[in-house]
Amino acid sequence: MVKETEHSDINTKGIAVIGLGFIGLPLALSYSMRGANVIGIDVIPELIDEINQGISHHLEQYNNLTIRDILKEQLTAKRFIATSNYYEASQQVDTYIVTVGIPIKDGVPNYTYIDSACNSIAKVLKEGDTVIIRSTVIPGTTEGRIAPLLQMKSGLIPGQDFYLAYASERIAEGRAFVEFESMPIALGGINEESAKRAKEILTIVTKAEVTISSIKTVETAKVIENIQRDVNIAMVQEFARFAQAFDIDTQELIKVANTHTRVNLLTPGPGVGGYCLPNAFYYLEPRAESLGVSLDLLRTARNINDGVPSAIVDRLEQALGTIHGKKIAVLGLAMKDYSNDDRISPPIDIVNILLSKGAKVFAYDPAVITTYDFKYPSLYDCVQDADALMLLTMQEEFRYLDWAEVISKLAEQAAIFDAKNIISLEMLTDGIKLLRI
Ligand SMILES: NC(=O)c1ccc[n+]([C@@H]2O[C@H](COP(=O)([O-])OP(=O)(O)OC[C@H]3O[C@@H](n4cnc5c(N)ncnc54)[C@H](O)[C@@H]3O)[C@@H](O)[C@H]2O)c1
C-alpha cells in the first residue's frame, strides 16, 4: 500500500476518470490509493458490473498486490466506484481525466468515442471544474476539437470558466502503477492557470518531473515518442533479414553492435502490436498531410512492421514445404510479452494468415481472455502431433515449461519458429528444424 497523500495535498473534491480500460482503471485506482475520492466512468455496463464486483482481467501489480487486490481494497474503502452515469458522478467531482482512445481503422482515426466522452462531460461541466485529456490524440485535437466541443455544449469558456489541459500518458501496460508514479509527465494547458491546476492534480500521483509546454507540443511529442520506437523496430527487422540471408545470428549481431557505447539496437520480435505503436503513425499522418509535410521514412517503417507477420509465415512455409493442412501450434496470442492485451496483435495476424493458407491452428495463451475458434485451454493438446510450433509472445507459464517434453510431443520432422529465443539446439530431437528471427 502506498503512503496516503496528506488530505490537504488532495486539492480536489473528487476525480472522475473517463474510460476504464488498460489506462483508466489503474489510473483511477492510483488516485484513490492516495486518498482521493474517485469515480470511474465507462460506457460498457458489463465492465462497470465486473469492476464494482472487484474483477479486473488486467495483469497490473503494485507492491506485490494485484490490480484485483487493489480494486477490492478501494471499493471496500469506498474511495472508488464505477458508473456509467455522468450526471451522478458530476455531483461528486470537480475534475475529469479523459482516457478514452481514438481507434484507427484502416489507417483512419475514429473520433466517435472521444467526442462522445467530451459531449457527456460538457453536459455536466460546472464552473471551476478541471478537464485533463490523457488520451493519445492527433496533434491539434485538444485545442481544435475538444475545447470548442466542450464550450459549445456547456456554454462555459475553457481557460476562463473551467480549466483545460493535455498531459500525454506514457506508461507501458504491465508497469502502469509504478510508471504513473515514476514516469515524467509532459503537460500543456489552454492557459497558464489551467496548466497550474492540472499540475496540482497530476502530482497527487506522480513523483516525477512535470514539464510544462504548449498543448500542441505535448500532443506531438507523445506521438513521435511512439513513432521513434516503430522506426527503430523496423530498422532491426531489416537487419534481421540481412543476418538470415548472410547466415549470421541476429541476436549475436545485435549484441555485438550494442557493445558500442552509443548504439542501442532493439531486439526484433514477431511484429509491432498494441494500441500505441502501430497507431502512432496514423495520428501524425493526417496533421502532416494538412500541413503538406511528407513522412516517407515513417510510412516505410510502418509498412515494414505491418509486413512482419506475413514474412514470418513465409519462412515457416519454406521450412514445411506447405502450410495447407498442417497442424500448427501457436503459443502466445498477446500483443507483447506477459500481457493479456490482444488488440492489434501480431500473433493474431500470423494465425489469420496461417488459416487463410489452410492450416489447422491450435493456439494457447493463458492470459488472453478473448475466445477464438482456434484457441484451446490445454497447451499439450495444441502441441500433440503438431507439424509446427510457433512461440510468439511470452507468458509466465512458458518460462517454466519443460521444453524438451513439449518438443517430444511434436510430429517427426516438425518445424519450430521461436520468436523469443527460448528453445536451444540441445533441446531438439533429430529431424526437428529450429527457426529464429
Ligand atoms: N494501453 C497503453 O499501454 C497506453 C499507453 C499510453 C497511452 N495510451 C492511450 O490511452 C488511451 C486509452 O487507452 P487504453 O489502452 O486504456 O484503451 P481501452 O480501450 O482499454 O480503454 C478505453 C475505455 O474507454 C471506454 N469508453 C469509450 N467511450 C466512452 C465514453 N463515451 N465514456 C466513457 N468511457 C468510454 C471504453 O469502453 C474503454 O473501456 C488511448 O488514447 C491510448 O492511446 C494507452
pLDDT in tens, 212-260: 999 999 999 999 999 999 999 999 999 999 999 999 999 999 999 999 9
Q: Mean pLDDT over residues 107-124, rounded? A: 97
Same domain, yes or no: 372 and 259 = no
Please give the residue range of the domain that contains residue 400.
308-436
Q: Which residue has the higher pLDDT, 60 or 6?
A: 60
Q: Is 1 domain-assigned? A: no
Query: What distances in angstroms separate CA 277 from CA 116, 189, 222, 268, 302, one per listed residue?
Result: 24, 25, 11, 14, 9
Protein residue closest via CA to atom 30 of ligand 1: 117
Same domain, yes or no: 205 and 337 = no
Contacts 24+ apart (CB under 8 A), 285-294: 285/107, 286/109, 286/138, 287/138, 287/139, 287/140, 287/220
Q: What is the pLDDT of residues 280-324, one digit of tens each?
A: 999 999 999 999 999 999 999 999 999 999 999 999 999 999 999
Q: What is the pLDDT of residues 29-39, one digit of tens each?
A: 999 999 999 99
Q: What is the pLDDT of residue 258?
A: 98
Same domain, yes or no: 89 and 202 = yes
Same domain, yes or no: 389 and 269 = no
Q: Mean pLDDT over residues 182-199, rounded? A: 98
Of 306, 324, 353, the domain-final residue: 306
Q: Does pLDDT of 1 surpass 50?
A: no
Same domain, yes or no: 81 and 229 = no
Q: What is the pLDDT of residues 139-156, one digit of tens each?
A: 999 999 999 999 999 999
Same domain, yes or no: 85 and 197 = yes
Q: What is the pLDDT of residue 275?
A: 84
Active-site residue 276, yes or no?
yes
Say if ligand 1 is within 6 A of residue 273 CB: no
Active-site residue 118, yes or no?
no
Q: Is 431 domain-assigned? A: yes
Q: How confident is the model at residue 430 (pLDDT cuts 50, 70, 90)?
A: confident
Q: Is 348 domain-assigned? A: yes
Same domain, yes or no: 262 and 312 = no
Same domain, yes or no: 96 and 166 = yes
CA angle centred on 162, ends 157 and 165, rounded to 5°? 100
Q: How many CB atoms lie within 10 A of CB 93?
A: 23
Say if ligand 1 is within 6 A of residue 329 CB: no
Q: What is the pLDDT of residue 425?
A: 86
Q: What is the CATH number of the domain that holds 288?
A: 1.10.1040.10
Q: What is the pLDDT of residue 10?
A: 78
CA 162 to chain centre: 31
Q: How confident is the model at residue 7 (pLDDT cuts 50, 70, 90)?
A: very low
Q: Is 283 domain-assigned? A: yes
Same domain, yes or no: 275 and 177 = no
Of 158, 184, 213, the domain-final residue: 213
Mean pLDDT, the chain, rounded, equals 95
Same domain, yes or no: 96 and 70 = yes
Same domain, yes or no: 345 and 411 = yes
Instruction: Mean pLDDT check: name the lowest of 221-225, 295-299, 416-420, 429-433.
Output: 429-433
Q: Is 264 domain-assigned? A: yes
Say if ligand 1 is within 6 A of residue 263 CB: no
Q: Is 2 domain-assigned? A: no
Query: What distances in angstroms separate CA 178 from CA 70, 100, 183, one per listed residue?
Result: 13, 21, 8
Of 183, 213, 243, the domain-final residue: 213
Ligand 1 pocket test target in 22, 47, 123 with most atoms within 8 Å of CB: 22
Give the Cα separation of 266 and 277 in Å (integer).
Answer: 14
Q: Does pLDDT of 5 surpass 60?
A: no
Number of separate domains in the chain: 3
Q: What is the CATH number of the domain that holds 67?
A: 3.40.50.720
Q: Which three cell numbers stand for residue 351?
A: 494465425
Same domain, yes or no: 88 and 30 = yes
